[in-house]
Structure 1
Amino acid sequence: MTTNLRRTLQRPMLAAAALASVAAMPFPSLAQTSMGSREFQQAELSELSPALRSEVERRVAQAPGNTPRGVLESMLLNELQIREPASRIVGLDLGRGVVVIQQPSGAMKAYTFNKQEGLRVIGEVSLAR
C-alpha cells in the first residue's frame, strides 16, 4: 500500500515541478522587447527636436504601454500613408532615418527623414528592379 501511495503522490508532484520549471524559463520573445531600456528610450528622445520630443512625450503619457519608439514609428507611418496612400511599407530603420515602401505598381521607393525636423521627409529615391 505504501509503495502505491508513494507512486500516486509522485506523479502529480513531478508534473507540478515540470510545469514550474517551464514557467520559470525565459522565453526568447519576452526577452527581446521593442521597448528597450529606460536609458535607450531617453537617448532616442534626446535626438528629437524640442517640439517633436514634447509631442512624443505627450502621446506616451496618454496611453499606458506606448513607448517613444512606437509613437515615433506611428507618426512616421501615418505621414507616409498621407504621402503614398496605397503603398505598403516594407522596411523601416528609425535610427538611420530610412523607410522603404512598395507602390501599387510594385515599384519600390526609399525615403529619408530627419528626426530633428519632426520626421519630415528630406529625400526620396526610386529603386529599380
Structure 2
Amino acid sequence: MSQYEHTCMIRGDGGRTIRTILDRICDKWTLLVVATLDQQRLRFTDLHRQIPGISQRMLTLTLRNLERDGLVSRTAYAEVPPRVEYELTPTGRSLIPPALALAGWAIEHIADIEASRTAYETRTG
C-alpha cells in the first residue's frame, strides 16, 4: 500500500484533503511566492516586484491563501503610511526542501520531457 493510499484510509476522505493541499501548493504562483520569501521578510510591493507577471490581485489572493494555510505570516505595523510584511512560517519554510527537489527533478528531466512531447506531437499531429 502506498503512503497516499494509507493516508486516505486513515483520513477516510478519499484523498480530498491531500488534493486540496496539493492544489494550493502546485498552483501557478504559490511556489514562486514561497521561494521569493525564502530567507527574507518582504513588503508587498517588494514581493510584487520580484515575481514577474503576477498581478497585484493574484499576489493578494495567493498571500491570503498561504496565510490561511499557515505557510506565510503577515505583520502589519501601525505606521503612516501603513507597512505590511510577509514571511514564511516554520511550516512554510519546511516546503522549501521538497520544492527544491521537485525543481531539481524538472531540470534533470526537461530534455526527456521535451523529446517525449515532440514525439507525441509528431505521432498525433
| Fold match (TM-score > 0.5) | no
Q: Indicate the structure with greater strand content.
A: 1
User: TM class, shorter-chain normalised?
Assistant: under 0.3
Structure ID, larger Rg: 1
- TM-score between the two structures when normalised by the length of structure 1: 0.24
Q: Larger relative CO (CA 8 A, sep 6+): 1 or 2?
A: 2
